[in-house]
Structure 1
Amino acid sequence: MNRDADPLFKPLARDALSQRIAQMLTDAIVSGRLKPGDRVAESVIARDLGVSRAPVREAGRLLESAGLLVSKANRGFFVRTIDATDLDSLYELRLCIEREAIARVVREGRVAQIMPVLLAQIEEMITSASENQLIYQIGVDLQFHRCIVEASGNGRFLTVFDNLASEIQACTALIERVFDEPGLVARNHFLIIEALETGNEDRARAAMEYHIGVARKAVVGHFRSLETGAAQ
């Protein structure tokens, strides 16, 4: 065996390890094994996984930025407290904003202006889904929707959207774990593209309503089933 040749396996980078741990924690949250308000103990997770605390801490920070965890001074990370009713209210508010935002984009003739960016973001979502880059995909998904809201020209819409950003990111993470097929959510964004290309406000509204509605039904329904199971 030639020892000077490139190694068959390369060392796993710390960021890749933290991404894998973040995915494990996300699965635990969505499945209900980690419940709202539960403490995510770095030392316990590190011991169970046989790793140092550093990548666990980095995974915690990734999920904090994604809205699934919250950090408390001198206490560590905790699972964000969110229930089915809360989620449903969030989706309802998102729908009100994004449905009218996309209609304004069509009405103001700004579709061509943002189309290249939207298409590029969908491709990024699909690629990151196939490579299991969950946190990155969440960020790109958020930017896709933010681009439409910003292009609407309604500053109030954008302010509310940005204030909800962490919760929207959390919902995106939940969607990706509820649907089994990698990239399905990303590809569903093409329905919005097709509606924008028609130049019809009503079709744009309908596409956004359908897109957010599918996610709303899946995620809220999933959480309701978890809550029902916990109550029994």
Structure 2
Amino acid sequence: MFSPVETTDLVQQIARQISDAIVSGRFKPAERLNELRLSQEFGTSRAPVREAARLLESQGLVVSSPRRGFFVRTLSAKDLDDIYELRIGLELHAADLAIQKIGDAELTALEAQIQNLYDLAEAGSIEERISADSSFHRMLCSFSGNDRLLKAFDDLATDMRAGIALIGTIYDDPYRMAETHVPILEALKKKDRQGLREALHFHIAAARDQIVPLFESLNKTP
């Protein structure tokens, strides 16, 4: 399941691999992180695995229980709704900053990412489509020039991707998913602030309105 890690940045490497496993759905909600088994797979002692788990706890991906260890965090439908509400405010602010400084190179990068979304709509996996969608929005946040804002987006994106992985299906037709990014790019090209805010809000809110009910119905399933 996991690959051996090098000694440099050992804890970070372990945390990254466990995080990827949670986001992709290989670790399920409430599943216990078996330190002994993980240390054997990573080829390390249990200490760096425990430190990695503590790091993931600080990021909100796992929770600890006294004398029982670390468990994958369980998200609720309300958690996801709150995340999307915060994401809308965060990305609208990022867009306001980005539109003032974005240039041809950044626009070309965003355009290439939309093409990637179209390509994945035909041949990509669910995980690849989710990752590509997240990458587009991360790029937009990075173009804001605000490093703290970008870090906040990364924290939210991890939770969102974990939630979508639990549903096991994409929240929209993959072609439609790619298509709804186009108005965002066009508004950026025109320096149309209001159009950008409307396109971005519609895109994120539409995802929220589909994902949250799906997640809620999943949790109600016996």
Normalising TM by the smaller chain, what interval? 0.5 to 0.7
Q: Choose the corresponding residue for 1:211, options 203, 214, 217.
A: 203
* Mapping 1:1-232, distance limit 5 Å: 64=21, 66=23, 68-70=25-27, 72=33, 73-74=35-36, 81-106=74-99, 108-171=100-163, 173=165, 177-179=169-171, 181-228=173-220, 230=222
The superposition leaves residues 198-230 of structure 1 with CA deviations (integer Å, 9 ceiling, x where unpaired) of 312122111111110000110012222334555
The 1-side partners of 2:166 and 2:208 are apart by 10
Percentage identity across paired residues of the two chains: 33
Residue of structure 2 equivalent to 1:30: none
The 2-side partners of 1:186 and 1:174 are apart by 21
TM-score by length of 2: 0.65
Unmatched 5+ residue regions in structure 1? 1-59
TM-score by length of 1: 0.62
After TM superposition, give the deviation of residue 150 of structure 1 in Å: 0.7
Distance 1:89-1:63 versus aligned 2 partners, 3 A rule: same
Contact 2:184 2:199 in 1 (8 A): yes
Distance 1:62-1:86 versus aligned 2 partners, 3 A rule: closer
After TM superposition, give the deviation of residue 156 of structure 1 in Å: 1.7
Contact 2:75 2:163 in 1 (8 A): no
After TM superposition, give the deviation of residue 63 of structure 1 in Å: 6.0
The 2-side partners of 1:206 and 1:149 are apart by 16
The superposition leaves residues 84-123 of structure 1 with CA deviations (integer Å, 9 ceiling, x where unpaired) of 00000110111111011012111x2315331111111111
User: RMSD over aligned Cα, in angstroms?
Assistant: 3.0
The 2-side partners of 1:149 and 1:172 are apart by 21
Contact 1:176 1:182 in 2 (8 A): no
Residue of structure 1 equivalent to 2:3: none
The superposition leaves residues 45-97 of structure 1 with CA deviations (integer Å, 9 ceiling, x where unpaired) of xxxxxxxxxxxxxxx97962635354713478x87511100000110111111
Q: Secondary structure at the match of 1:164?
A: helix
